[in-house]
Chain A
Amino acid sequence: MKYNVLIVDDEEGIRMAIKRALNNYHIDFPFLDESIEIDVYEAESAERALEILRDTPMDIILLDNKLPGMQGIDIMPYINEHYPDIKILIITSFASLDIALEATKHGAFDFIPKPFTPGELKNAIETATKQIYLNNILKDMDREARKIRFKFLSILSHELKTPINTLEGYMMMMKEKQLGPNIDNYMDLIDKMINKLDDMRALIMDLLDFTNLNSDKTIGEKEFLSLKDVINFCVDSQRPLAIQKSISFDIDIKSPLTFFASKNEMEILFNNLINNSIKYNKNNGKVIIKGEETDSSIIIKIKDTGIGIAPDDLSKIFDEFYRSAEAKSRRLSGTGLGLSIVKRMIELYNGTIDVASKLNEFTEFTIILPKNNNSNQAIN
């Protein structure tokens, strides 16, 4: 990475001295893998400096306060307006420290009192460089966040509009009595509409979970709880769904799996995963849940004997609103938010989730929750 530094000083001696001091100078930060190199440009007047700025982007300007013609301070407002990212360091004699202080109020980043040692010069440049680097990162993050928000909203509007269009289509069919005057002919259609409404309700519930997650607020108080109990509770609450498909559970959890967490969040987490293992299972299938713990972590595996996930889809299933081709083609309803909620939830607890699958055979999620994270949070 290279930053450009422009020296603006009418004394050739000073320019030479600065150039010499910065020759082969590079800056290392502990948070950066590569070092920052400095390229030095020079101008003998404010007018010349402005010319150079037109052609070459600068990161730092070392600006002498006393110049022939336009003064250093005179061009500062112009530079601040047209090149707001440039950091200006005023070089000034001790006699004019007041002016320098005034200048920092008007947009100079810092000042270097004359005479200065190469060390002082380097220090000042290093501070400015760090500032520039951090600013750039912040800008990138801001841009990235905006992009993600926009994408989220546009997908969301798509996800909500699609069922509305569907409902509208079915309602038009009814209004125009496309299936004749007898209401009994429309039952199939009405069932489909009710299903669509259920989907929309599920989407809104998931969205609520999701926005809660993104607000970094814990849903409910954290406490020491047994994940074994949580899992058993979730299995019981989903049993009616499992019975409809004649799916049996095979649960093997020997220890209580004590974990410091919000009960609500753990229930959302395991309800989502267990619900998936039933929904995407085959009739007469199995859901196999295993839990164990080591000194440092809790490991939970949830495996189904279901439709599986194609290799192409596997990397995308945790993305918001993503639904596998297999799930869509089998007309299984879903919001595409469940697994992204699960993933975020696990990340909140510094855990990991992995998935393995074979199409038409099985899908297995492996969750690892670190215990040490627990005690940290307990202290906080």
Chain B
Amino acid sequence: MEKIKILLVDDDPDFADQMLFYLNKFGYDTMYLPSQRSAESRLKDIQFDLAILDLMMEEDDSGLQLARKIKANSPEIPIILLTAITNETGYSFSQEFKNSPELLPIDKYCEKGIRPDVLNKIIEQLITIKK
């Protein structure tokens, strides 16, 4: 069986390190890019089954911008948006998301402190729905 390939885009290399470690441990193939810019320039020539994006990179909504571009090309690819926004701003994004999922081009929204095994469950779910 071919491994599932996950694209991770996050500008914090240490956080990315840890994420990649767990993703690999859970048996996924991974690809890491450090910015919205670098991801956009390579969207045409990379293949992946699922994307995990950090919300705030170059801009406050870099993750969302990137998500829109990914969905425009390949609407079937599930996207998980990761962010530390509640911690930092007290603004709960998940509530917004529940109220108007159609406005956000993402499949699942997660806080950055999420436990790796919980994240894995979410990935499994999204991949199964896709199939």
Chain A interface residue count, CB cutoff 8 Å, equals: 18
Q: Which of chain A's residues 152-187 have a Cβ closer than 8 Å to chain B? A: 154, 157-158, 161-163, 165-166, 169-170, 173, 178
Interface of B is mostly: helix
- Known interface pairs A325-B58, A329-B35. Does A166 touch B88 (Cβ–Cβ under 8 Å)? no
Contact B35 A325 (CB under 8 A): yes
Interface check B113, CB cutoff 8 A: yes
Central interface residue in A157, A162, A170, A192, by most chain B CB within 10 Å: A162
Chain B interface residue count, CB cutoff 8 Å, equals: 20
Contact A192 B17 (CB under 8 A): yes
From B8-16, B94-102, B121-129, the one touching the partner chain is: B8-16
Contact A328 B18 (CB under 8 A): no
Contact B14 A173 (CB under 8 A): no
Contact A154 B15 (CB under 8 A): no
**Interface digits, B43-64 against A, CB 8 Å rule (1 contact, 0 not)?**
0000000000000001000000
Contact A173 B87 (CB under 8 A): no
Q: Which residue of B lies closest to A189 (CB)?
A: B17
**How long is the Cα–Cα vector from A61 to B12 in the complex, in angstroms?**
59
Taking CB atoms, residues of chain B closer than 8 Å to A331 are 13
**How long is the Cα–Cα vector from A154 to B88 in the complex, in angstroms?**
7
Taking CB atoms, residues of chain A closer than 8 Å to B12 are 162, 166
Interface check A196, CB cutoff 8 A: yes
Contact A169 B18 (CB under 8 A): yes
**How long is the Cα–Cα vector from A157 to B90 in the complex, in angstroms?**
12
Q: Which residue of A lies closest to B19 (CB)?
A: A169
Taking CB atoms, residues of chain A closer than 8 Å to B35 are 325, 328-329
Interface check B131, CB cutoff 8 A: no
Q: Which residue of A lies closest to B58 (CB)?
A: A325
Q: Which of chain B's residues 63-97 have a Cβ closer than 8 Å to chain A? A: 84, 87-89
* Closest chain B CB from A160 CB (angstroms): 11
**How long is the Cα–Cα vector from A157 to B84 in the complex, in angstroms?**
12
* Closest chain B CB from A166 CB (angstroms): 4
Contact A192 B14 (CB under 8 A): yes
**How long is the Cα–Cα vector from A157 to B17 in the complex, in angstroms?**
22
Contact B88 A158 (CB under 8 A): yes
Contact A157 B88 (CB under 8 A): yes
Q: Which of chain A's residues 178-227 have a Cβ closer than 8 Å to chain B? A: 178, 192, 196
Contact B34 A165 (CB under 8 A): no
Taking CB atoms, residues of chain B closer than 8 Å to A169 are 14-15, 18
The 4 closest A-B pairs by CB, nearest first: A166-B14, A169-B18, A329-B34, A331-B13
Q: B-contacting residues of A (Cβ < 8 Å)?
A: 154, 157-158, 161-163, 165-166, 169-170, 173, 178, 192, 196, 325, 328-329, 331
Q: A-contacting residues of B (Cβ < 8 Å)?
A: 11-15, 17-18, 21, 25, 34-35, 37-38, 58, 84, 87-89, 112-113
A178-B21, A329-B35, A331-B13 known; 16 other A-B pairs, CB under 8 Å?
A154-B88, A154-B89, A158-B88, A161-B87, A162-B12, A163-B14, A165-B112, A165-B113, A166-B15, A166-B18, A169-B18, A192-B14, A325-B35, A325-B37, A328-B11, A328-B35
